[in-house]
Structure 1
């Protein structure tokens, strides 16, 4: 349920997470042996520190308990990580849930676009969050290929994940969420690093050609809206470079980043806090430093500028740690001989890669959907990954 209903029911991204959190109560009753290692502790520590950073920010700047809400989700995900590590799910259900979620999101977005003529489908979310999370689910389906080829009915699994990946990416494309498209080359690099050695050279070339042809087809078909969104972005960048600061979506982001940079320069260590950031941006707007329209938003539409401006250098370092530390640990098994572990490792790396990409044009963790999906997917993926590695090490020791 964590992924299967994430985007197709109201607050679906929370329902599976809450059920997992409630299920983690069993840890207090059965007290299973977890055999935590250094990497497990560090991943949980960085999740706890992210929460601590958010709580300290809210307390330091007098923002109240409501400002602690989103950072606390990372702390709540830690019991879920331990639950999954102790009682790992059947991988067919985990990977299958991701495929169902991708197909549901892409299918619904396509229906809204083609049948109901919605300009930018967003389902129960805004189009940016919806489109990027749909892209994430599609990308994770490609990560699942390593696990799929080890199954008895591998051809059916591979076909399912290919179709689901197309649906997930389609959900992003028809939503017009351009920020999610920037990171596609980096996603492909991770997938190539993980799976290219498994394919014959001619197959690798064929896959590359297929991806390029699919991209060209998506771009050239007007009904997808991709070509229009790309041309629109290029035009808006050119206009801004020529001095036009009117309120286009691209210009607004540039202005918000410029305003955040001013605030960062004034309070680089501890930041302004959320309320101080909003007041500071409004002051910059009224002084004519940035476009007035851009001064009305409560976040910088860039995860890194936003964190730096609100929480200072310490907040930025914590944000980078929560993305990069788990990614580094997952990356150790991108070449694992056990393809099931390789699939989990690839998914873990891609989770951080996609969120870093999404964060370039959107403060993704400022939204419930963004923080819930990252925190709980990280918890589930790490729980599965850690358990897989321990079981493999135990099996190797037994064989020796």
Structure 2
């Protein structure tokens, strides 16, 4: 019993399960579990001499996240507004934990089936949440304990990951019971996404379908499944066309593009993006500083940037887009570093597309799509989701890379 409790492998899986299980209920519990994972993984780096080999394999990604963290710190040091809090830098610093977390998952030889179990735990938690919403008769947008957009995007990512694993996208074979369970929780998560009313989640689902079509046509060469996916997608588009929020989207886009339309959520985002571009024109190198977007609105609202919006000045804390937020607060240097990291992940997924790389490719592209309308690194629990899911995707590619010796933890201690 004591040996089980002292197993780093089980502690890691337990903390990951707690993180995902807490998402719809209590964000602070999830963030605490994530912070323990970061501490745990960082400490493990000092006990295994294979660290250098692991970092070499991820050196491009490590350089990318280090660059983002460094630029975030510099932009805050040379910030234009003293009111910008230092805690705004923390999410970008946490991006560095991708490397030790990937290292820990690999050195502990976490199996694909065990990572699938973590996704199942996340799905069961969301399923319980959805059941509770039905029982209580809640009629509003489902949002857990966060914004409906953030919650809907999260549920969509977890649903599609569960579907992709259940259809056998991972290199390691899963049992039929695990695959059926993944499919069931994925269906529940997809319905929760629908009930959140998050239109941007459609892009995440579309990415999953396109990756599925590419995988089954190129790797599996199963045209029956390809045609089935295309048919299901076509039917889904006709169903979504009749929903009120989908029908309203077209008119909202047209009016928002004309400028000055801020009564809808998309119109407000267009105004925030216009403000972000204006701020980047004034502070192109490092932006106004991390955490300074809210305070920049006080100076450059209507007079300099011609932003027309109904909310009071300083009301918005972020630009409602990871790209425009990065551009405004960290300048073009920060945007280039951010895009470099995301492109690195996409490239890595494409390189290993036939051996579980499709899962990493989907995860990276889904966050990139969600980042169009949401800042991924605005809150601790959001950056934690990104780090853990990206780390899982990287580890699923290959736990024993070609040309690198396989060393067990017992043999690699200092």
Q: Shared fold (TM-score greater than 0.5)?
A: yes
Alpha-carbon distance between aligned partners in 1 of 2:258 and 2:364, rounded to the nearest angstrom: 35
Query: How far does residue 303 in structure 1 lie from its aligned partner after superposition?
Result: 1.1
Note if contact 1:2-1:15 (Cα within 8 Å) is conserved in structure 2: no
Counterpart in 2 of 1:347?
359
Query: How far does residue 383 in structure 1 lie from its aligned partner after superposition?
Result: 3.7
With over 3 angstroms needed to count, the CA separation of the structure-2 counterparts of 1:6 and 1:211, relative to structure 1, is farther
Alpha-carbon distance between aligned partners in 1 of 2:38 and 2:283, rounded to the nearest angstrom: 37
Query: How far does residue 176 in structure 1 lie from its aligned partner after superposition?
Result: 1.2
Paired residues for 1:120-199 under 5 Å: 120-144=141-165, 145-146=167-168, 151=173, 153-154=175-176, 156-196=177-217, 197-199=219-221
From 228, 243, 246, give the equivalent of 1:206: 228
- Mean alpha-carbon deviation: is it higher for 102-111 or for 118-127? 102-111
From 29, 34, 50, give the equivalent of 1:17: 34
- Mean alpha-carbon deviation: is it higher for 72-81 or for 167-176? 72-81
Query: How far does residue 316 in structure 1 lie from its aligned partner after superposition?
Result: 0.1
Alpha-carbon distance between aligned partners in 1 of 2:16 and 2:241, rounded to the nearest angstrom: 32
With over 3 angstroms needed to count, the CA separation of the structure-2 counterparts of 1:160 and 1:386, relative to structure 1, is same
Instruction: Name the SS for the 1:293 alignment partner.
Output: coil
Instruction: State TM-score, norm by structure 1.
Output: 0.84
With over 3 angstroms needed to count, the CA separation of the structure-2 counterparts of 1:8 and 1:110, relative to structure 1, is same
Counterpart in 1 of 2:7?
none
Instruction: Name the SS for the 1:389 alignment partner.
Output: coil
Paired residues for 1:311-350 under 5 Å: 311-335=330-354, 342-343=355-356, 345-350=357-362
Give the alignment's Cα RMSD to 1 decimal. 2.9
2:294 aligned with 1:282, yes or no?
Answer: no
With over 3 angstroms needed to count, the CA separation of the structure-2 counterparts of 1:232 and 1:27, relative to structure 1, is same
Alpha-carbon distance between aligned partners in 2 of 1:216 and 1:64, rounded to the nearest angstrom: 47
Instruction: State TM-score, norm by structure 2.
Output: 0.82
Counterpart in 2 of 1:369?
381
Alpha-carbon distance between aligned partners in 2 of 1:267 and 1:242, rounded to the nearest angstrom: 26
Alpha-carbon distance between aligned partners in 1 of 2:379 and 2:153, rounded to the nearest angstrom: 12
Alpha-carbon distance between aligned partners in 2 of 1:150 and 1:52, rounded to the nearest angstrom: 37
2:106 aligned with 1:92, yes or no?
Answer: no
Q: Deviations over 1:71-111 (max 9, x none)?
A: 12112343222211211212212112113313432552464
Alpha-carbon distance between aligned partners in 2 of 1:19 and 1:229, rounded to the nearest angstrom: 40
From 75, 78, 95, give the equivalent of 2:96: 75
2:308 aligned with 1:291, yes or no?
Answer: yes
With over 3 angstroms needed to count, the CA separation of the structure-2 counterparts of 1:81 and 1:275, relative to structure 1, is closer
Q: Deviations over 1:339-373 (max 9, x none)?
A: xxx23x12211111011111111112212222111
Query: How far does residue 28 in structure 1 lie from its aligned partner after superposition?
Result: 5.1
Instruction: Name the SS for the 1:366 alignment partner.
Output: coil
From 106, 121, 125, give the equivalent of 1:104: 125
Alpha-carbon distance between aligned partners in 1 of 2:133 and 2:216, rounded to the nearest angstrom: 34
Tell me, which stretches of 5 or more residues in structure 2 are unaligned?
A: 1-14, 407-414
2:249 aligned with 1:249, yes or no?
Answer: no
Query: How far does residue 382 in structure 1 lie from its aligned partner after superposition?
Result: 2.2
Counterpart in 1 of 2:325?
306
Structure 1 stretches of 4+ with a deviation exceeding 6 A read 391-394
2:281 aligned with 1:265, yes or no?
Answer: yes
Counterpart in 2 of 1:358?
370
With over 3 angstroms needed to count, the CA separation of the structure-2 counterparts of 1:56 and 1:363, relative to structure 1, is same
With over 3 angstroms needed to count, the CA separation of the structure-2 counterparts of 1:272 and 1:159, relative to structure 1, is same
With over 3 angstroms needed to count, the CA separation of the structure-2 counterparts of 1:265 and 1:158, relative to structure 1, is same
Note if contact 1:24-1:83 (Cα within 8 Å) is conserved in structure 2: yes
Which one has a larger percent helix, Structure 1 or Structure 2? 1
